[in-house]
Amino acid sequence: MPAATEYFQFGVVEERIGKRALTAYKLSRADAARAFPGAEADLTSCEVRDVARPGDTPANSRPGKTWA
């Protein structure tokens, strides 16, 4: 069963120029916390995706049959 996950662009401070900039890619809150500690989500860039959880079988799989 897929889980809904929110993805955002995050505001980070560019060390070279000292200004806040948004990330080029959208990240989940957990990934952003690891990559950019203290970054703030830009709520206007919210995107909700259905992501399969680890261990879930693909929707079109059939036990005992070969995959097409």
Residue-wise pLDDT for 15-44, tens only, equals 888 888 999 999 999 999 999 998 999 999
pLDDT above 90: residue 4: no
Among candidate residues 25, 22, 34, 21, the one with its CA nearest the CA of residue 7:
25
- Stated as kind and residue range, the H or E segment containing 23 is none
Question: What is the model's pTM?
Answer: 0.68
Q: Going along the chain, which residue ranges are E strands?
A: 3-13, 20-22, 27-28, 40-51
Mean pLDDT (the chain, rounded): 84
Q: Where are the domains of the chain?
A: 3-51
pLDDT band at 9 (very low <50, low <70, confident <90, very high): very high
